[in-house]
Chain A
Amino acid sequence: MNTTRDDVVLEVRDLHTYFFNRRSTLKAVDGVTFSLRRGETLGLVGESGCGKSMTALSLLQLVPQPAARIVGGEILLDGDDLLHKTPREMRRIRGRHIAMILQDPQTSLNPVFTIGNQLMEAFAVHQRQPGRALRRLAEQVLQRVKVAAPARRLHDFPHQMSGGMKQRVVGAIAISGAPQVLIADEPTTALDVTIQLQYLKLLKEIQATTQMALLFITHDFGIVARMCDRVAVMYAGRIVEEGPVRQVFRHPAHPYTQALMASVPKMEEKVELLTAIEGQPPALDNLPPGCRFAPRCAYTEPRCTQQYPPDYTLATDHTASCWRLETL
């Protein structure tokens, strides 16, 4: 893969998204930095509530208002800071430059319209065109996501389709604007394993032809290994380790990544009890001053609880933030 600096489509720098309520401030995303290159797939992994989805919604500036707010950072799309855009400009970016596939296909489609209508709407939002042309576009895009007999399927209502089929339609809507960046927020969680595989293959194929960058949010390391070029591990609102998938899988540097890897059951060994990470992730409104993982970490030193460790570069593109890496 070509990895020159110029290929960067999306660059996120020190992004902070907080939830405010009367008593406290929840730091859902607290200083996230990453970049996405053309045609590349970045996996964003982490346990539930670590801020993966909020990061994605922040990119589109669709965080649940007024409770949540993006309080700082930069989101550069082709070098253009999205945080300085007006709501109107943002709306033109959504779907056309950055699109997103949501988790649950069952509720992602409007139950009162046929999928043809919804596909045509997706096109109509971005460009004014006569109905006939829209219908043809809808048919073409359905063909691209490999729905059989697309012309006939256009007249179906969402409840007449299977979950996998619906998620394909949702995918079709997402790629209708030919986006440069596609965010997929656990798109296969609601699907069964066979359909999952088909869907992932399909996404890869579409990516290969369009060269769009894919931000893949998941908690499944199997999917990461299969889909992603690079992986970023998130813990309590921050990325703790980032690097090429192979490198991170072979030599996980951060204790959290190591613990995660250890907890994945292996095919070749017989296991009685799966390894678990002791304790709970910290409450987001009461984060420890130092490393967030320190209370659960096996290698905690005094300074871990006082100061957040900086990023250490271990190999090309492989960074992790842990004090233990200082000595390397």
Chain B
Amino acid sequence: MARTHTLDVPVEAAPGRARKWIQILRRAPIIPLVIILLFVGTAVFADLLTSHSPTKVQLPKRLRPPAWTPKGDWTYTIGTDTLGRDLMTRIIYGARVSLVVVGLTLGLGGGLGLVLGLLAGYHGGRLDSFLMRAADITMAFPIILFAILLVAILGGGMFNVVVSIGVVLWARYARVIRGEVLSLMQRDFIARARVNGCSDWRIIAVHLFPNVLNTLMVLLSLQVGWLIIVESSLSFLGAGIPPPTPSWGSMIAEGRDYITRAWWVSLFPGLAIALTVLAFNLFGDWLRDTLDPRQRQV
């Protein structure tokens, strides 16, 4: 339900300046969209956007400050990192890593969650109990801890990061999709499909799946930001994408020891994470409001 402004009921205290801006951003998803497109664009065209190598070490040029500072130099717009690599280049390539990890985990977790949620909701009974208890157990694990554990066993690398996040992620999707399916099963068109001789498979794929697509989309978009943070956190802790591949999280970690001398090494990847996550969250909120009006009050 849209909030109506009545004169006598001040719902909240007068919003501060920051709040006001957030409100405006919330209504117009243009800025988040631009940031998202920028993020995806840089990730896809990383090679074209920069002439520097993201991994080649140039120790003499280490810790160059950003261009606009007194000692700066326009070859390295926002400076270089601890091993003399161009920070901008690494952030651009880092976007690619983030995008790939997020895409794959969402694909794996979302896909798994979708399939298991549909099955649990449709078949009910023992399969449902089993899958939902499994989801409960999975959700009881802190995702970061679980991922560190898995990476410690399997070793680092993109594939293992994706798998370790994906196997925890499915539970949320499965739960929500199952709930949605349960409510759909009460409707007569499922009964009609069955009366008409449709197979179980057909009912799930043709009648249930398109009806849960909205919910799935909203859920996916709301979790992109969170996944970027999870990936960054893992990389920051050294359990994610191993160096020298640039990842925003590990870039922050690298700059940690130099924060007083070279603030830019940590700051810019941090900014990149913050902006992207914010953009995805605002976009997700907007998508939810548009596609799923029921949840608007939540």
Residues on A facing B (Cβ under 8 Å): 60, 62, 65-66, 91-96, 99-100, 102-104, 107-113, 121-122, 125-126, 170, 173-174, 176-177
Contact = CB atoms under 8 A, between A and B. Distances in A.
Nearest to A108: B188
Q: Looking at A65, A92, A107, A174, which has the most chain B CB atoms within 10 Å of its CB?
A: A107
A109 B206 CA distance: 13
Given A66-B125, A110-B207, A112-B211, A94 B197 contact: yes
Nearest to A105: B188
B187 A91 contact: no
Closest 6 CB pairs of A and B: A95-B197, A94-B197, A95-B196, A108-B188, A107-B188, A107-B187
Contacts of B211: 110-112
B206 A173 contact: no
B202 A103 contact: no
A272 to B, nearest CB: 39
Interface string B168-212: 000000000000000000011101111111110010001100110
A110 B189 contact: yes
B210 A126 contact: no
A177 B196 contact: yes
A94 B125 contact: no
Interface residues of B, number: 18
A177 B192 contact: no
Contacts of B210: 110, 112-113
Given A102-B188, A104-B188, A110-B189, A62 B194 contact: yes
A99 B193 CA distance: 11
Interface of B: 125, 187-189, 191-199, 202, 206-207, 210-211
Given A92-B197, A102-B195, A110-B207, 18 more contacts: A62-B194, A62-B195, A66-B125, A91-B197, A94-B196, A95-B195, A95-B197, A100-B192, A100-B195, A104-B188, A107-B189, A110-B189, A111-B211, A113-B210, A122-B196, A125-B202, A170-B192, A174-B195
Contacts of A173: 192, 196
Contacts of B202: 125
- Chain B interface secondary structure, helix, strand, loop or mixed? helix
A125 B196 contact: yes
30 contacts: A60-B195, A62-B194, A62-B195, A66-B125, A91-B197, A94-B194, A94-B195, A96-B197, A99-B196, A100-B192, A102-B192, A102-B195, A107-B187, A107-B189, A108-B188, A108-B189, A108-B191, A108-B192, A109-B192, A110-B207, A110-B211, A112-B211, A113-B210, A121-B198, A122-B196, A125-B196, A126-B197, A174-B196, A176-B196, A177-B196
A104 B197 CA distance: 19
Q: Which of B192, B193, B199 has the most CB of A within 10 A?
A: B192
Nearest to A97: B197
A125 B192 contact: no
A104 B206 CA distance: 21
B197 to A, nearest CB: 4
A125 B187 contact: no
Given A66-B125, A121-B206, A109 B197 contact: no
A65 B194 CA distance: 13
B264 to A, nearest CB: 50
A121 to B, nearest CB: 7
A218 to B, nearest CB: 17
A241 B245 CA distance: 82
A257 to B, nearest CB: 30
Contacts of B193: 110
A113 B195 CA distance: 18
A93 B197 CA distance: 7
A170 B202 CA distance: 19
Contacts of B189: 107-111
A54 B277 CA distance: 53
A154 to B, nearest CB: 17
Contact of B191 (A66, A95, A102, A112): A102
Contacts of A122: 196
A159 to B, nearest CB: 13
Contacts of B197: 91-96, 125-126, 177
Nearest to A90: B197
Nearest to B191: A102
Contacts of A177: 196-197
Contacts of A113: 210
Contacts of B191: 62, 102, 108
A99 B195 contact: yes
A173 B198 CA distance: 12
Contacts of A99: 195-196
B32 to A, nearest CB: 28
Contacts of A170: 192
A75 B197 CA distance: 18
A112 B211 CA distance: 7
